[in-house]
Amino acid sequence: MEVFFLESILNLVGFAVGITIGILSYIGFRNTGSPTLFRLTLAFFSIGVGFMIMWLGITLDAYVFDPKEPQRWIQTLGIAVQTLGYFFIAFSHTIKSFFPRSNYLRSVGILPLFLISFISIENVIRSISFILLAYGAIETMMSYFESRRKTAIFVAAGLAMLGFGEFLGWYYFVFPQSILNVVSISIKITGLGLLFIPVTKVPLTKIKFDENL
């Protein structure tokens, strides 16, 4: 029961953080007219809504459905909505093509495919999330070495934390009785917090986010 309350609270916190960053991104879009900030608005709203769907799922499992037969499809829907948000984030910051230039970065995308069972849609969606976030984190870090912009560090660290959180979420699917889901959600919220830092500067300085990362 304690784990249920922790998951509920963390999902609500994730919803609040995601929606807050989405609102700030929208303000930045209004101030700058940047298409990238519009994509970021969609991204963070998607992530926030994904947290809300997952909160709804565990709440229904606890009070409406049979706890012994959880409705996994609701959780899967929430993860899918968040994955859409991850795509917009990675695309807005780093992805200029669908394939990295180096063979080493291509191997990052192949690695999760050895760790999942394609029988589960949730596993496939989490693997896609991990690929997007890992690629985005590495590419953003490489851009930092070229530009030396401090905001790139926060973006890279935020994407890396989100990716690690998704990986732990996959591991929780293998061991559902553990507290890994609580840890996963906490890490993802931390990642959002790191992404929050550069986003807050955009509406105030009217800098186009996509041109400075």
133 — pLDDT class (breaks 50, 70, 90): confident
- Percent of the chain past pLDDT 70, that is, above it, reads 73
Q: How far is CA 72 from the centre of its chain?
A: 19
Q: What Å distances lie between residue 10 and 7, 138, 206, CA to CA?
A: 5, 27, 32
Span 26-69, pLDDT tens digits: 988 888 888 888 888 999 999 999 999 999 988 887 777 765 66
For 95, counting Cβ atoms within 10 Å of its Cβ (0-12 exposed, 13-18 middle, 19+ buried), the class is middle
Domains identified in the chain, total number? 1
- Give the model's pLDDT for residue 149: 79
Which of the residue ranges 32-36, 110-114, 162-166 has the most confident prediction, judged by mean pLDDT? 162-166
The pair of three-digit structure tokens given for residue 23, joined into one six-digit string: 């609102």
81 — pLDDT class (breaks 50, 70, 90): very high
- Give the model's pLDDT for residue 113: 43
- Give the model's pLDDT for residue 182: 87
Residue 152's domain spans which residues? 2-212
3-state helix/strand/coil string of 70-126: CCHHHHHHHHHHHHHHHHHHHHHHCCCCCCCCCHHHHHHHHHHHHCCCCCCHHHHHH
pTM of the model: 0.77
